[in-house]
Amino acid sequence: MQIGMIGLGRMGSNMVQRLMKGGHSAVVFDARPESIATLEKLGAAGSTSLEDFVSKLARPRAVWLMLPAAIVDKELAAILPLLDEGDIVIDGGNSYYHDDIRRAGELKSKGIHYVDVGTSGGVFGLERGYCLMIGGEKDTVQHLSPIFATLAPGIGDVLPSPMRSDEAAKASTAEQGYLHCGPSGAGHFVKMVHNGIEYGLMAAYAEGFNVLRHANIGTQTTEADAETAPLSHPEYYQYNLDIAEISEVWRRGSVITSWLLDLTADALHGDAALSQYAGRVSDSGEGRWTISAAIDEGVPTPVLSAALYGRFASRGNDDYANKVLSAMRAGFGGHHEKPVK
Amino acid sequence: MQIGMIGLGRMGSNMVQRLMKGGHSAVVFDARPESIATLEKLGAAGSTSLEDFVSKLARPRAVWLMLPAAIVDKELAAILPLLDEGDIVIDGGNSYYHDDIRRAGELKSKGIHYVDVGTSGGVFGLERGYCLMIGGEKDTVQHLSPIFATLAPGIGDVLPSPMRSDEAAKASTAEQGYLHCGPSGAGHFVKMVHNGIEYGLMAAYAEGFNVLRHANIGTQTTEADAETAPLSHPEYYQYNLDIAEISEVWRRGSVITSWLLDLTADALHGDAALSQYAGRVSDSGEGRWTISAAIDEGVPTPVLSAALYGRFASRGNDDYANKVLSAMRAGFGGHHEKPVK
Amino acid sequence: MQIGMIGLGRMGSNMVQRLMKGGHSAVVFDARPESIATLEKLGAAGSTSLEDFVSKLARPRAVWLMLPAAIVDKELAAILPLLDEGDIVIDGGNSYYHDDIRRAGELKSKGIHYVDVGTSGGVFGLERGYCLMIGGEKDTVQHLSPIFATLAPGIGDVLPSPMRSDEAAKASTAEQGYLHCGPSGAGHFVKMVHNGIEYGLMAAYAEGFNVLRHANIGTQTTEADAETAPLSHPEYYQYNLDIAEISEVWRRGSVITSWLLDLTADALHGDAALSQYAGRVSDSGEGRWTISAAIDEGVPTPVLSAALYGRFASRGNDDYANKVLSAMRAGFGGHHEKPVK
Amino acid sequence: MQIGMIGLGRMGSNMVQRLMKGGHSAVVFDARPESIATLEKLGAAGSTSLEDFVSKLARPRAVWLMLPAAIVDKELAAILPLLDEGDIVIDGGNSYYHDDIRRAGELKSKGIHYVDVGTSGGVFGLERGYCLMIGGEKDTVQHLSPIFATLAPGIGDVLPSPMRSDEAAKASTAEQGYLHCGPSGAGHFVKMVHNGIEYGLMAAYAEGFNVLRHANIGTQTTEADAETAPLSHPEYYQYNLDIAEISEVWRRGSVITSWLLDLTADALHGDAALSQYAGRVSDSGEGRWTISAAIDEGVPTPVLSAALYGRFASRGNDDYANKVLSAMRAGFGGHHEKPVK
């Protein structure tokens, strides 16, 4: 079927390509003409304006937005007057699910359908397919299923879950890699939690590798002064570990095998010191929203929060708190900060 | 080659079977005769005592201990007088690596070699193979390599890491699923961190699924009193999510695919409410030791600690702390504990 | 001056009494006539309805709401039609500061002033005075200063901060125990963070006392099995500590003296086992909002979050997450949950 | 009575002065002659060597060590041959209680008594007195009680705990500010937990002040890109708060009053930006040991751990973990680290 795609960044562009490979046709638009041109060469119909974009789509139109969460509302406001009753807007980016609920309500009043799709898979999705978590009305989601089925990975070589009943397998498309999770917002809610988990998984590996990397701390001389916790047993920290090879061995048969571990191992093979990175880690919203939802629900999420806070601190947002600590220590104990070596 | 196995629990018994399938011969011993009998039927040589066990092993003997960490020293003390110079003791259980360093020193003085092997793979290891993290002298580890190669999964269908250099691939056996990590204790050190990470990964999923499960909290009426945080926006928590199907869709193409997710999905397909479990989660040592090592190293591990503490609390070990909190609230605010509904 | 008080619970009733002792007059209203009667005996003017209440207040009226956060809007809607331009509504409860900003805007359009006051001091405030954190227009706050000055503790015997400049001391009323923190919402924002800190302080003490209480764990025999982390050195955990006396000694000269410690010590003197408490700890909103604000700001608050999550878990909200962990452990390791002893 | 003090740093020197003011005599020794000279001017008997020091002490000698934890064993080894049966060694520093247990055993075999004293009070102890937590044999502790009573603050103006029974008050010296907590190690065990709590309290305040400081984040323009979590509601973060005055108002009548808050307020009055500090926060051992004890006990201490980890991260010990996160993000999403502005 035909899809209109607005937003041809890394994700949007790859999704268009995967859809066209799967036999669908695409009309594309982006603020950067070169992004449009690239896809035109691959068979997409480019457009020169939103009006042109809309005019090239057959009704009921399916308009997929693949944009940073912060600009979806602006784009939606621009295209909405051009759409007709029965058209469908799909937000496949990382929107906050609160916005989905609001938008679905606003669009419904105009007779336009709204579908929220959480999309996971990153830059590998073009080849592997995208895991899709979908929210919206049942009929609309059903109507779009050819699109979802193509974007999703399919069963592939992932083994079926032995305990899954045949009824469950028949009733849902989860095994194909896409799932209608519930009404408006449910797609992005599930994707939000997915990313919250992702933060936690990533941090678990990162902390573990950090412990491995410092396993030789006993080979370094440390100072004995009142400001420094002494290392009682340096003999236990004499290991110079090959972290890249450790990540490699964990990929085979261990309990902690995962795709994230595969990626990490590969990065460590490139440079185990990871010296090209400064260690300032961005967070793009879903981790925050997960914590916010957990707090509203009264559900403890210490691991997911710790993972998020580690990112905040990596960007220096803990600086003032640390200064307060140093000021307190100076206050009660006359302790001076130790200079950086 | 020939291996002697002491400890025929779930892990030890499966490892013997995998070794015999791989062409090795095994002499086995356990306090439970029925465990010995089972393996004898499969071709192992049983033994009636430690003396009998030792007498059936060709020199230099390779004695593999697969025992709970807490009883390794006792068993070792019992068998040590029966061994000869040049023999090898392998501890394949979950010993604390401090103990490995001590034991290796003790055994060295008797001319006996000690190898510590961290083993991951659980009950699936029999079929999938075990990921092995090994510490000890190079020559001894090299001597045992046929055993390790059989126990390990081998390359299998896990794709090679694209960035791994040919030199690295030639220099290490990591791709086969076993790795000589360093001198005595290094195997269990790496396994310890592996399990620390495992705790963190597990908790990340568990917290995420808990957030999903409570996504319908807005459908429940909550009380408005001074003791209870009101839910400002119940409209955002109206989702009755099919958690088993969500875990299934995440298995395909998402960033958070992993073997632990596969297992979780399967358990959720069986019963998404997991009502057969009480939620009292054991911890068997490595998580604790990981935190202890991190603290010695001065390395922050907030996620791994939070995961460990969640297990402590699941067993009620936070009870007294919570009573202190309630006592404080009663003290300053006259707040009474709300009764369980 | 004259104050009208709606909401005669523990806090509201005590505040009226303190104001009357300080020479102010009070008109009071509550849904429970007996609460009104009690204060009438002490000199307050009771009222039989909101209309009656409003009619007894001189213009510009100062109406102080001391209500659970969840019902402020309802009460405000009921009284608003009865008020006149220039009147003042003060919310002294624990409202979310978002609501203050909204309400201040709504009331401003009617010419009514809105002041938000975060109030700390608990049941002791009647005698000690209340610490007041105030948000709103400067003139309105200034107009109410006689009320604030009476409710607040005053300088008392708290020593002046040596580094505080005379200019600062002249420019602000902080030393008197009340402070105009900023525009609408600023009072409750500061109170929110105050309570967030309070949660963290409380949890720090509670965790510490829990560690003290378990200092005799080495005197108990523990099982040696593969499910249980063995206690390597029971000789280090042989202390039967007198926790009440320890809390008492900490009250004098230590770095951790505080009012919360005073209260805790007192509770522990009553019963060090705190057996009257079940350890189900409520949270009434501000702790949640603090985390929410921190996340919006991108500021890490691991301690404050951990404190909040501990309360969630104390009420069993971690149950499902723990079941997921047990299910995973059963899945990969065949581990069974250990029964409760 | 007479005390011998080895170690005349900030703490040791002040304690000698307080003891002499209280009518005790002191023999002092330190590697720095100028530290000895200073106290000689105030009436202490200086000494030129350990031999000289010991010779000036009447038997049974009471030798108080006030040294960094890392050098206690060395000093003890040096002085031990000079002591006689019945003499007493007191370790008043921040030793690990494991070391106390070991040392007490070693000294006992020589007939020398060992007392461990955890000392809190910092630079203010000279005037306020020191809170003393004591471990060791009952008789020896009793013998030293005149020293403890002088060092401790005494009842002062701290109100008695209303619930404390007269029996408890008679049976213990806690109200005087010193307490015999139990056998060897108990003093430092209790002090260890005291400092663990201290870390938690400090971090709770520090995080809270950090949230206050960033309350104006909505006044800053933030970028809208896929790497950055957008601030949905800048209108809620428009507060420029006077943090010093807020800390001041909290000192009077609030639930979170404490001595640490007093100190913090004073530092903030000096410079609310705390620009003289870099925010690299040392930790001197007790925080680490508290977590280690908690883990041995199986007691969750998420708040105390988070406080400790914040200090580790403040010194950059999370750098490698953060690089691993950035590498993962680059791996799955092609995300580049954002440059520092």
| pLDDT computed for residue C223 by the predictor | 64
Whether residue D208 is predicted with pLDDT greater than 60 in this model: the reply is: yes
Least confident of A124-138, B49-63, B227-241: B227-241
D15 is a domain residue? yes
| pLDDT computed for residue D3 by the predictor | 98
| pLDDT computed for residue C157 by the predictor | 85
Is B217 found in the same domain as B121? Answer: no
Q: What is the pTM of this model?
A: 0.96
Closest to D261 measured CA to CA, from A313, A319, C158, C249: C158
Whether residue D235 is predicted with pLDDT greater than 70 in this model: the reply is: yes
Q: Which residue of D has its CA nearest to B303?
A: D306
Residues D80 and D135 sit within 8 Å (Cβ to Cβ) = no
Residues of chain B contacting residue D300, judged by C-beta atoms under 8 Å apart: 309-310, 312-313, 317-318, 321
Average pLDDT, chain D: 95
Q: Which residue has the tokens 């960094």?
A: D68
Supply the CATH number for residue A223's domain: 1.10.1040.10
A131/B254 CB distance under 8 A:
yes
Whether residue A338 is predicted with pLDDT greater than 90 in this model: the reply is: no
D295/B302 CB distance under 8 A:
no
Residues of chain C contacting residue A300, judged by C-beta atoms under 8 Å apart: 308-310, 312-313, 317-318, 321
| pLDDT computed for residue C328 by the predictor | 95
| pLDDT computed for residue C340 by the predictor | 66
D298/B305 CB distance under 8 A:
no
Closest to C295 measured CA to CA, from A292, D136, A84: A292
The rounded distance, in Å, linking the Cα atoms of C291 and C284 is 13
Whether residue B341 is predicted with pLDDT greater than 60 in this model: the reply is: no
Whether residue B314 is predicted with pLDDT greater than 90 in this model: the reply is: yes
Which DSSP state fits C258?
B
The DSSP-derived string for D14-27 is HHHHHHHHTT-EEE
Is B113 found in the same domain as B218? Answer: no
Average pLDDT over residues C238-254: 97
Q: Which residue has the tokens 């401003």?
A: C108
Average pLDDT over residues D110-120: 97
The total of other beta-carbon atoms located within 10 Å of residue B2's CB is 15
B258 is a domain residue? no
| pLDDT computed for residue A81 by the predictor | 97
The partner residue sitting opposite A237, judged by closest CB among B176, B253, B297, is B297
Is C144 found in the same domain as C218? Answer: no
The rounded distance, in Å, linking the Cα atoms of C89 and C107 is 9
User: Of the residues D152, D182, D212, which one is the last residue of a structural domain?
Assistant: D182
Which DSSP state fits A220?
S
Q: What digits encode the pLDDT tens for the residues B90-118?
A: 999 999 999 999 999 999 999 999 999 99
The rounded distance, in Å, linking the Cα atoms of A133 and B249 is 8
User: Of the residues D151, D182, D213, which one is the last residue of a structural domain?
Assistant: D182
The sheet that has C62-65: what strands, in order across it?
C45-46, C25-29, C2-6, C62-65, C88-91, C113-120, C131-135, C178-182
| pLDDT computed for residue D99 by the predictor | 96
D266/C302 CB distance under 8 A:
no
Closest to B153 measured CA to CA, from B190, B135, B133, B126: B126
D47 is a domain residue? yes
Q: Which helix or strand (DSSP H or E) is residue C65 part of?
A: strand C62-65
Q: What are phi and psi of A63, to 5 degrees?
A: -105, 115
| pLDDT computed for residue D226 by the predictor | 63
Residues of chain B contacting residue A294, judged by C-beta atoms under 8 Å apart: 207, 210-211
The rounded distance, in Å, linking the Cα atoms of B140 and C52 is 93
Give the bridge partners for A4, in sequence order: A27, A63
How many domains does chain B fold into?
2
The rounded distance, in Å, linking the Cα atoms of A246 and A251 is 9
Answer with the residue of higher pLDDT: D220 or C48: C48
The DSSP-derived string for D81-136 is GG--TT-EEEE-S---HHHHHHHHHHHHTTT-EEEEEEEE-GGGHHHH--EEEEES
The partner residue sitting opposite A301, judged by closest CB among C297, C298, C309, is C309
Is D193 found in the same domain as D88? Answer: no
C259 is a domain residue? no
| pLDDT computed for residue C67 by the predictor | 95
To test the contact with chain B by mutation, choose from C94, C225, C290, C323 the residue with the greatest count of B C-beta atoms within 10 A, namely: C323
Q: Which residue of D has its CA nearest to C164?
A: D269
Q: What digits encode the pLDDT tens for the residues A236-252?
A: 999 999 999 999 999 99
| pLDDT band per the 50, 70, 90 thresholds, residue A222 | low
Q: What digits encode the pLDDT tens for the residues A144-185?
A: 999 999 999 999 889 999 999 999 889 999 999 999 999 999
Is D282 found in the same domain as D156? Answer: no
Is D83 found in the same domain as D50? Answer: yes
The rounded distance, in Å, linking the Cα atoms of C114 and A131 is 50
The DSSP-derived string for C39-58 is HHHTT-EE-SSHHHHHHTSP
User: Of the residues D137, D158, D182, which one is the last residue of a structural domain?
Assistant: D182
Q: What digits encode the pLDDT tens for the residues C196-221?
A: 999 999 999 999 999 999 999 999 87
The rounded distance, in Å, linking the Cα atoms of C281 and A248 is 45
To test the contact with chain C by mutation, choose from D18, D138, D220, D248 the residue with the greatest count of C C-beta atoms within 10 A, namely: D248
Is C140 found in the same domain as C32? Answer: yes
Compute the nearest-CA separation of D99 from chain A (Å): 10
The rounded distance, in Å, linking the Cα atoms of B202 and B196 is 10
Is D104 found in the same domain as D79? Answer: yes
Q: What digits encode the pLDDT tens for the residues A251-266?
A: 999 999 999 999 999 9
The DSSP-derived string for C297-310 is HT---HHHHHHHHH
Supply the CATH number for residue D137's domain: 3.40.50.720
D270 is a domain residue? no
| pLDDT computed for residue B223 by the predictor | 64
D206 is a domain residue? yes
A217 is a domain residue? yes
Is D196 found in the same domain as D161? Answer: no
The partner residue sitting opposite A284, judged by closest CB among D228, D259, D278, is D228
Whether residue B221 is predicted with pLDDT greater than 70 in this model: the reply is: yes
Q: What digits encode the pLDDT tens for the residues A6-64?
A: 999 999 999 999 999 999 999 999 999 999 999 999 999 999 999 999 999 999 999 99
Residues C314 and B318 sit within 8 Å (Cβ to Cβ) = yes
Which DSSP state fits A69?
G
Residues A326 and A337 sit within 8 Å (Cβ to Cβ) = yes
A263 is a domain residue? no
Closest to C151 measured CA to CA, from C172, C125, C169: C125
Catalytic positions of D, please?
Answer: 191
Average pLDDT, chain C: 95
| pLDDT computed for residue C242 by the predictor | 97
Average pLDDT over residues D334-340: 78
C96/B232 CB distance under 8 A:
yes
| pLDDT computed for residue D223 by the predictor | 64
Q: Which residue of C has its CA nearest to B341?
A: C315
When computed from its CA atoms, the radius of gyration of chain B, rounded to whole angstroms, is: 25
Residues D307 and D199 sit within 8 Å (Cβ to Cβ) = yes
SS3 B91: strand
Q: Which of residues 223-262 of B touch A (CB under 8 A)?
A: 229, 231-233, 235-242, 244-246, 248-262
Closest to D195 measured CA to CA, from C82, A328, C48, B42: A328
C80 contacts: CB under 8 Å, gap ≥ 6: C107, C110, C112
| pLDDT computed for residue B336 by the predictor | 83
Residues of chain B contacting residue D306, judged by C-beta atoms under 8 Å apart: 302
| pLDDT band per the 50, 70, 90 thresholds, residue D242 | very high
B221 contacts: CB under 8 Å, gap ≥ 6: none
Range of the domain at D158: 1-182
Q: What digits encode the pLDDT tens for the residues B124-174?
A: 899 999 999 999 999 999 999 999 999 999 998 899 999 999 998 899 999
Is C37 found in the same domain as C178? Answer: yes
Give the bridge partners for A217, in sequence order: none
To test the contact with chain B by mutation, choose from C95, C228, C304, C322 the residue with the greatest count of B C-beta atoms within 10 A, namely: C322
| pLDDT computed for residue B222 by the predictor | 67
Residues of chain C contacting residue D101, judged by C-beta atoms under 8 Å apart: 235-236
Residue tagged active-site, from A21, A41, A191, A323: A191
Is B151 found in the same domain as B18? Answer: yes
Is D164 found in the same domain as D307? Answer: no
Q: Which helix or strand (DSSP H or E) is residue A26 part of?
A: strand A25-29
Least confident of B152-156, C333-337, D202-206: C333-337
Q: What digits encode the pLDDT tens for the residues D60-83?
A: 999 999 999 889 999 999 999 999
Q: Which helix or strand (DSSP H or E) is residue B151 part of?
A: helix B145-151
Residues B253 and A157 sit within 8 Å (Cβ to Cβ) = no
Pairs of CB atoms within 8 A across B/C:
251
Q: What digits encode the pLDDT tens for the residues B191-203?
A: 999 999 999 999 9
